[in-house]
Amino acid sequence: MATYEKHYCWSVLLRLFHWMFALSIVFLVVTGFYINNPWTNTMIEGSASWPMAIMRYIHFVAAYAFSAAVAIRLFLYFFGNAQERVWDILPITRRNINNLKKTLLLYSYISDEHDERLGHNILAGLSYLFTFIVAVVMVISGFYMLYPEAPFWEGWGVMLFGSQQFARYLHHILMWWFMIFAVIHIYLCIWNDTKEPEGLISSIFTGAKFKHKA
Ligand code: HEM
Ligand code: HEM
């Protein structure tokens, strides 16, 4: 019978980031859809209360939680523990390149070999890094729309997106990344948890994973 030992893996700050990020996205997507396509008439929408004003208010409160989460992750990419730093998920070492290959083979059902490691597998890590970059674009385009004449946001907004219309267009299109990502992400977490007794899903609550005893 295989024996496992418990290893501390994710800091409290990383878990805080995860749930701030995931929950704020739910609110941002729901209210974002409403801002894009409000269902009431202009008489009601023109009022200072329900529903558009409230939807926008929720969007902006969630946006601040989302932005704080992004700032936490940026900090952890450089000052987090060994599993949380950016170089742990980049295919820049032989071990990481091998892990990327093995994960691709495993996910495409070509091989059964699971490459045990404490941190993220490299494929997952790269998808998280990409999501982080998209999140930064959401923050900049969002604040550019919110404060179009504040010199800081206007400077970045004009430089990156040009017009407000284009920032809004991109803000909308990129929303779909978070929805697609969430579906695949949750599916793969459950898939991995079913196949390997690492305690992957509980690790994002408890911070600990299980590895074969050496
Ligand atoms: C994953 C994160 C986010 C998602 C999915 C999201 C989604 C959306 C969507 C779909 C819209 C409607 C755009 C349209 O008309 O098609 C919107 C509008 C907007 N969002 Fe976000 N957003 C996110 C983050 C943010 C952040 C961080 C901010 C920063 C303040 C922000 C500020 C705004 C503003 C100012 C608008 C325009 C509101 C208006 O025109 O009344 N969003 N968002
Ligand atoms: C029921 C919902 C969810 C569960 C159970 C869950 C579970 C997990 C687990 C187990 C990990 C670590 C996986 C690994 O080692 O590769 C993780 C990481 C992550 N999850 Fe989720 N997740 C959920 C929802 C979401 C949502 C909705 C988002 C955003 C759209 C999200 C974004 C992320 C990100 C960005 C990471 C990487 C953390 C890092 O940067 O190190 N998760 N999640």
What pLDDT is stored for residue 52 in this prediction? 87
Question: How much distance in Å is there from the Cα of 72 to the middle of ligand 1?
Answer: 20
DSSP-assigned letter for residue 40 = S
Closest residue by Cα to atom 20, ligand 1, is 142
What's the structural domain count of the chain?
Answer: 1
What pLDDT is stored for residue 38 in this prediction? 86
Residue 212, domain member (yes or no): no
Residue 92 tokens read as 């820049």
Beta carbon of 32 within 6 Å of any ligand 1 atom: yes
Residue 160, domain member (yes or no): yes
pTM listed for this prediction: 0.94
Give, for all 214 residues of the chain, the pLDDT tens digit.
678 899 999 999 999 999 999 999 999 999 999 999 987 776 666 666 668 889 999 999 999 999 999 999 999 999 999 999 999 999 999 999 999 999 999 999 999 999 999 999 999 999 999 999 999 999 999 999 999 999 999 999 999 999 999 999 999 999 999 999 999 999 999 999 999 889 999 999 999 999 888 7
What pLDDT is stored for residue 48 in this prediction? 60
**Which ligand is the nearest neighbour of the Cα of 28?**
1
Instruction: Give the C-alpha separation, 117 to 126, whole Å.
Output: 15
Residue 43, domain member (yes or no): no
For 1, 3, 44, 146, the CA distances from 119, given in Å and listed in that order, are: 24, 20, 50, 37
Q: What are the DSSP calls for 52-81, one per residue?
A: HHHHHHHHHHHHHHHHHHHHHHHHHHHHS-
Residue 81, domain member (yes or no): yes
Ligand 2 atom with least separation from CA of 189? 10
Question: How much distance in Å is there from the Cα of 193 to the middle of ligand 2?
Answer: 13
Residue 109, domain member (yes or no): yes
Provide the CATH number for the domain around residue 16: 1.20.950.20
